[in-house]
Amino acid sequence: MACQRDYERRLRVGVVGLGGHGYRTLLPALTTLPVRLVAVCDLDADRAERTARQYGAVPCTAQTDMLAEHALDAVLLAVPPREHPRLAIEALERGVHVWMEKPPAARAADLDPVIAARGDRVVVVGLKKVFMPAARKALELLARPGTGRLTSLYARYALSVPEDGGALLERRAASHWLAEGCHPLSLLLAAGGPVAEVDVHRGGRGDCACVLHFASGALGVLQMSENLSMSQPFEQYTFVAEHGTAEILNGSRVTFQRGIPYEYGVTTGFAPEGTDGGMLSWEPQHSRSSLENQSPFVQGVHAELSHFCRCVLEGRPARLGTLEFAREVMEVYEAALLASDGGRTRGAATLGGR
């Protein structure tokens, strides 16, 4: 793999938002991308100055100035979600491509003007769970003709749907469900397709389950508990198809159950001859320090940014992390809040037009 200095063609980029995530995750990831970091931008002038000095870039405190003063090809946004649409539109109106961190907005409808302003520019939303190698492998296995139709999906994650959902939506307020819910929801939708209805079932100790009724007829369950954050691993996905089951554990191990020749009352061995049946598995080799075993690659951070850069350089629209897909994820996020509003034991919300 080439590193930043090795690429013949590089995008002139500016990074907006130098807080914890932008500084710890986004900026270091640029090392392996075809980019030249021209400018960095943050409302905190001292933070912008210190970061710019570290990376050899120009400091700015307003994206407007950064766009006006530097000939940028793209901006990378890592700001609060309510600011993403405004900043994205500002960049798009100047003909600049946009990558933005998840979540892409405070409300699904806030993405509509971004879609309208996009034109022929590339916009990618950093929904890393869809980009991580484990997800790409699982989705590849599910798409194989012999795997058959997807019938059920399961996810486990350390979060919960707030009880005051309606008020949160009205205020466009931040919440753990907004910040983290898009992670499991995006992967479930990438596998299952559009969702028609969302149910939320709440337990007596703060745990809850979000039931997704997919338009295809498949049924999905997102099992959530804040208490899962105390256990390892706390993230799991299971995709059941007619002729195989794919599973992702902790984002770094993929298994595929193909079944074995079996006849009840007759079969006596659990490991029959041959290799056409049974389980296949893939996982990083942590004894090696090569790129595919490092966190930004395993978690999909590199893949989402690389996809954005390749699309811009090759002049083609994004295939993953699109605004339309991100809007669908946001619609499900909102439906879960409405179904959970008032702390009801059980509630349901139907997505419009489905």
> In this predicted model, what pLDDT tens digit does every residue of 124-159 receive, in sequence order?
999 999 999 999 999 999 999 999 999 999 999 999
Please answer whether residues 196 and 189 qualify as being in contact, where contact means their C-beta atoms are separated by less than 8 angstroms.
Answer: no
- Give phi and psi for 280, each to the nearest 5: -110, 150
175: domain CATH number?
3.30.360.10
270: DSSP letter: S
Same-domain pairing of 198 and 264: yes
101: domain CATH number?
3.40.50.720
Same-domain pairing of 155 and 23: no
Same-domain pairing of 80 and 144: no
Same-domain pairing of 155 and 262: yes
Same-domain pairing of 194 and 80: no
pLDDT at 103 over 80: yes
CA separation for the pair 10, 6 (Å, rounded): 9
Count CA atoms within 13 Å of residue 35 on its CB side: 32
pLDDT at 339 over 80: yes
Same-domain pairing of 83 and 189: no
Same-domain pairing of 204 and 113: no
Same-domain pairing of 170 and 155: yes
> In this predicted model, what pLDDT tens digit does every residue of 30-83 receive, in sequence order?
999 999 999 999 999 999 999 999 999 999 999 999 999 999 999 999 999 999
Same-domain pairing of 233 and 195: yes
pLDDT at 352 over 70: no
Residue 230 has what pLDDT?
Answer: 67
CA separation for the pair 246, 269 (Å, rounded): 23
Same-domain pairing of 144 and 260: yes
Domain count, the chain: 2
Residue 353 has what pLDDT?
Answer: 47
Sheet holding 208-214, edge to edge: 279-282, 253-257, 244-249, 236-241, 150-157, 219-224, 208-214, 195-202, 346-350
Look up the domain containing 108 and give its range: 4-127+298-323
Percent of the chain with pLDDT over 90: 76
Q: Is the pTM of this model over 0.75?
A: yes
pLDDT at 305 over 60: yes
Same-domain pairing of 57 and 190: no
Identify the sign of the CA torsion 335, 91, 171, 160: positive
Same-domain pairing of 255 and 275: yes
Residue 286 has what pLDDT?
Answer: 86
DSSP codes joined into one string, 178-241:
HHHHHHHHHHHHHHH--EEEEEEEE-TTS-EEEEEEETTS-EEEEEE-GGGGGSS---EEEEEE
> In this predicted model, what pLDDT tens digit does every residue of 156-188 receive, in sequence order?
999 999 988 888 899 998 899 999 999 999 999
Cα 351–Cα 151–Cα 329 angle in degrees, nearest 5? 35
